[in-house]
Amino acid sequence: MPHDSRPKFLNLLAIRQPIGAVTSILHRLTGVLLFLLLPVAAWLLELSLRDPAGYARAAAWLEGTAGRAALLLLAWIVFHHLFAGIRFLLLDLDLGMELTAARRMAWVATLAAPLAALLFVGGVL
């Protein structure tokens, strides 16, 4: 039987990643999304500062269903990037380098972000 030198198909979605890898990937993704959403945030700020009618338009957009969903998504992006960034800073300081501590910190960063986003959008924070 000859050796097959063709490349193997590697389905990355079928591979179960550890929580640390998921947190790292999401941290990078949220960083890119924050960068890409800067023009939208600047536009909304400029619209709200232009005149009272612009402020009313920006406020109406943010108070609608799509606006609330966008705010919830943006809050999750910000909080996840913040919490994962703090986790990586602690790892850089050699804090939480043991496997169980690293996994625990990854779970905390990943699960605290949606909770903080819900509390923020709900007006609690």
pLDDT tens digit at each of 125 positions of the chain: 567 777 788 887 888 899 999 999 999 999 999 999 999 999 999 999 999 999 999 999 888 889 999 999 999 999 999 999 999 999 999 999 999 999 999 999 999 999 999 999 888 75
3-state secondary structure the chain: CCCCCCCCCCCCCCCCCCHHHHHHHHHHHHHHHHHHHHHHHHHHHHHHHHCHHHHHHHHHHHHCHHHHHHHHHHHHHHHHHHHHHHHHHHHHCCCCCCHHHHHHHHHHHHHHHHHHHHHHHCCCC
Res 125: pLDDT:
57
Assess if residue 5 is contained within a domain: no
Res 2: pLDDT:
64
Assess if residue 79 is contained within a domain: yes
| Range(s) of the domain holding residue 71 | 40-121
Distance in angstroms between the alpha carbons of the first and the last residue of the chain = 65
Binding residues for heme: 81
Token pair 């338009």 is at which residue?
A: 57
Binding residues: 81
C-alpha 35/C-alpha 29 separation (Å) is: 10
Res 6: pLDDT:
79
Res 39: pLDDT:
96
Assess if residue 66 is contained within a domain: yes
Res 1: pLDDT:
57
Number of domains in the chain: 1
CATH number of 64's domain: 1.20.1300.10
Assess if residue 35 is contained within a domain: no
CB 80: neighbour CB atoms within 10 A?
A: 24
Res 64: pLDDT:
87
Res 123: pLDDT:
83
Assess if residue 96 is contained within a domain: yes
Assess if residue 14 is contained within a domain: no
